[in-house]
Amino acid sequence: MSITRELVTWTWEKKCLQAVAALNRNGFTAFYCKTATEAANYILVESGDARSVGFGGSMTIKDLGVETHLLEKGKELLNHSAPGLAAEERLEIMRRQLTCDLFLSGTNALTLSGALVNIDAIGNRVGSMFFGPGKVIVVAGRNKLVDGDIPAAIRRVKDWASPPNARRLNYKTPCAESGFCCDCTSPERICRIISVLERKPKFTELHVLVVNDELGL
């Protein structure tokens, strides 16, 4: 590892650790992971007693590559993004995610003060974060960290997550063409529900893994 990369990794580690400390103060169960592999292994261990595992449509979780391993462990995967599903099948899976044994998701932004900030179009992902599943694991790559307040985190989502996500999902929104948020009125707008978790939801076992690696958008 070059000295430059080593120093960059060290700097990110300090920021990740600050976020983890803040999350734990806010009631979450938070851990620092040096690598994506470490985060994936944590999920596989925590999935031990789970029969059903829900996926929140997260590129971060997809980057971890845990789906195949969970299938090999005999888990029922509730993934509404699986290819070939009809619209009603997708909605039914989203509903079942609300009561699955383990729900996996990324987050759009994580402040260094320990708040999770997300923007959804439907609300199935953030709904499952708040209440219902037996356990929730949220994974945040270092690129999701925001050294600022809630408005700065929302800005991060709209500037860096929403445009590429709209393009990935083939939505006909202005940001999917321009790459820039314009607070549109498009029927396919994906920025419809803004959620902020400043503290752990009262009845939800919510783990947050902060990873010193770039994951998701």
- Identify whether 166 is part of a domain: no
- Identify whether 173 is part of a domain: no
Cβ atoms 12, 38 nearer than 8 A: no
| Residue range of the domain that includes 57 | 3-115+123-148+198-211
- Identify whether 14 is part of a domain: yes
User: Which tens digit of pLDDT belongs to each residue from 83-132?
Assistant: 999 999 999 999 999 999 999 999 999 999 999 999 999 999 999 999 99
Question: What is the tally of structural domains in the chain?
Answer: 1
- Identify whether 154 is part of a domain: no
Region of residue 216 (phi > 0: left; psi between -120 and 50: alpha; otherwise: beta)? left
**pLDDT of res. 214:** 97
- Identify whether 104 is part of a domain: yes
Sign of CA dihedral 19, 21, 27, 31: positive
**pLDDT of res. 1:** 78
**pLDDT of res. 178:** 97
- Identify whether 161 is part of a domain: no
- Identify whether 181 is part of a domain: no
**pLDDT of res. 11:** 98
**pLDDT of res. 118:** 98
| pTM reported for the whole predicted model | 0.97
CATH number, domain of 66, equals 3.40.50.10420
Residue ranges in the chain whose pLDDT is less than 50: none
- Identify whether 171 is part of a domain: no
**pLDDT of res. 39:** 98
At residue 195, φ and ψ (nearest 5 deg) are -125, 145
Q: Which among 129, 87, 92, 91 is positioned nearest to 108, based on CA atoms?
A: 129
Cβ atoms 126, 58 nearer than 8 A: no
